[in-house]
A and B are shown apart, each in its own frame.
Chain A
Amino acid sequence: MNEILKSIYAAVLTGDMTTTQEQVEEAIKIGLTPADILQEGLISAMTEVGRRFEAGDYYVPEMLIAARAMKGGLTILKPLLAASDVQPLGKIVLGTVKGDLHDIGKNLVSMMLEGAGFEIVDLGVDIPPDKFVEAIRSGGIDVLGMSALLTTTMPLMKATIDALVDAQLRDQVKVIIGGAPVTQSYADDIGADGYAPDASRAASLTKSLVG
């Protein structure tokens, strides 16, 4: 790997946003392609962050700081990616279901998905089924991700999937779910396409569904 890409990778891993941005600028200056900077510098670093999280070596704070550094680099890179027609891996709609204001898990998933190369449409918290349906109807969405922290709001995940079926949109989008009370068996029961227990695994799951 190119030395500058290596230093971008290292800076993201340690959450050093200033160095990440400086090195991304340097990489552009010496003529590395935006796609290489993205893939080998930023995305590969976030993949390693995910691996360390899953191994129990990184926790939420480390993941968060790394994601911020990645995002700092991505901000510089984004106009060049658009100009060189580098497409995101897919477009993801995220939201916390109606009746639930918890957003930390959703925000972490958003960061890890962005770090994996996806484009995110974050609808926010307390999102009713019809808002999710509206977002999917707008088109171009590959995956819908829903989060719930309360056992009392989990049924809104099923209500949203039912609303997608009613709107004849269910086949157009993969649905993944997560949150403290959610389990794989619940995902199976309500007809979701996948469940992830944490943000890192949500990124791997999404890649497997879109790829």
Chain B
Amino acid sequence: MSASNKKLTMRQRVLAVLQGRKPDRIPFIDRIDFWYKGRTQQGKLPAEFHGKTLPAVHQAIGMGHQDWDYPYAIKYRNVEIILTFEGERIFQEIDPEITNFPTLWGWIPIDKAGVTTTELITPVGKLFFQHRLLEESISTGTTRPQMISHPIKDLDDFKTYEYIIEHTEFVPRYDAFAHREAEVGDHGYLVPIIERIPFQHLLIDTIGELETFYMLHDNPKEFKRLLSVIDEQVTDKLKRLADFSAPYVEFTDNLDGFMTNPLLFREYVLPAFQCYCEILHGQGKKVGDHTDGDLKAIVNLIPETDLDVCESFTPAPTTSCTFEEAWTLWKEGPLIWGGIASYYLEERVSEVEFREHIEHLLQLIGDRPIILGVGDAVMSNNDLDRVRYIAERIESHPI
């Protein structure tokens, strides 16, 4: 085989698309970790995958291995953190260094069901929040504890939260990231994830989705003040990423237009993205966002964000936004990463309907750039043979 005929690796295909070059094939890359963990837990891992690691399963089925990691951690000064699982203290530290606050992946137990309470003690006040993990979440592989109470419960908590945010330090972990990147290898792509933009941070992590709307309605002044405190910190961290040489970074906003409606999107989301993208573009980075919610209401506004990629784009019928709508409206960007609803990998969809859908997508896509993936992820009740089919179909579809 001549050098020019040599196939690109999945990583090279992703990079080609991100950097505006034409790859040899459409990159097809996403997560099957829910499927893998769920099938393993249920004792239903197909025999061909017994003893195989997650990356090896990706390799076997031909779908690239998407994984995430944080290029930096946050050091919290003058804060004591205490984690209690079902009443038993499991962790305590002063001035902790955390990569993902307040989701605390890696800190909250994910191998047993129960409620984890996290306390944050500061000189100006105390906050607490809770996560709950169900047995079913473990057995289906979706081992993400769900936040059942948020750090800010009333107006009095604002000043404590502001104190916490104002006393943070940026701690680079570029070496750790590079090490993980090497582990993921050429058949995958390790996405450097950064935090949520301030509005989504308050909406999802800090106040809670419904409570945020009450808070914004009842106490707009305090809400906006907290937003600006978070914005200052995010801006500072993004500027510090200049030393991080990755070509692409991704916000983790789980955007959904029914929650963050067009009015809120215009007021709080667009200006934030425009400002952050300007900083990151200035560093030569492409910028994406994890947009796995229903984008129907904001699909026409997304191009104004200056984002380069909408990752985990989950179309109809899982959401009400069709692939065609986004495809038409995002002609000049952002790129879609995702685009195949996991619905099509379920038993309730016939093999014929599934294959017709894939053909329809490939025809629609033509040679326009896209990174195909499954929105939001391949679930434990999905048919992995269909994922393999997509991978094979793409390999036989040069662009």
Contacts and interface: CB of A to CB of B under 8 A. Distances in A.
B142 A150 contact: yes
A152 B379 contact: yes
B146 interface: yes
Nearest to A186: B348
A153 B140 CA distance: 9
Nearest to A102: B146
Contacts of B142: 150, 152
A204 B142 CA distance: 33
A107 B210 contact: yes
Interface string B213-239: 110110000000000000000000000
Contact-residue size bin, chain B (C-beta under 8 Å from the other chain): 35 or more
A31 interface: no
Contact of A15 (B140, B148, B217): B217
Contact of A101 (B134, B258, B261, B263): B134
B146 A101 contact: yes
A152 B38 contact: yes
B304 interface: no
Contacts of B136: 98-100, 152-153
Interface string A148-181: 0011110000000000000000000000000011
Contacts of A65: 213-214, 217
Interface in A163-207: 180-181, 183, 185-186, 189, 197
A68 interface: yes
Contact-residue size bin, chain A (C-beta under 8 Å from the other chain): 20 to 34
Interface string B133-144: 011110010100
Contact of A151 (B134, B137, B381): B381
B379 A59 contact: no
Interface stretch (B189-197, B283-291, B312-320): B312-320
Interface in B300-325: 317-320
Interface in B161-198: none
B380 A60 contact: no
B297 interface: yes
B319 A180 contact: yes
A211 interface: no
Contacts of B348: 185-186, 189
A180 B318 contact: yes
Contacts of A56: 297
A52 to B, nearest CB: 12
A64 B213 contact: yes
A101 B132 contact: yes
A102 B136 CA distance: 13
Nearest to A56: B297
Nearest to A53: B258
Given A68-B214, A101-B132, A101-B134, 7 more contacts: A56-B297, A60-B259, A64-B213, A100-B136, A151-B346, A186-B348, A197-B320
Interface of B: 38, 132, 134-137, 140, 142, 146, 148, 209-210, 213-214, 216-217, 257-259, 261-264, 294, 297, 317-320, 342-343, 346, 348, 379-382
23 contacts: A15-B217, A56-B297, A59-B257, A59-B262, A60-B259, A60-B261, A61-B213, A61-B261, A64-B210, A64-B214, A65-B214, A99-B137, A99-B140, A101-B134, A150-B140, A151-B346, A151-B381, A152-B38, A152-B142, A152-B381, A181-B318, A185-B348, A189-B348
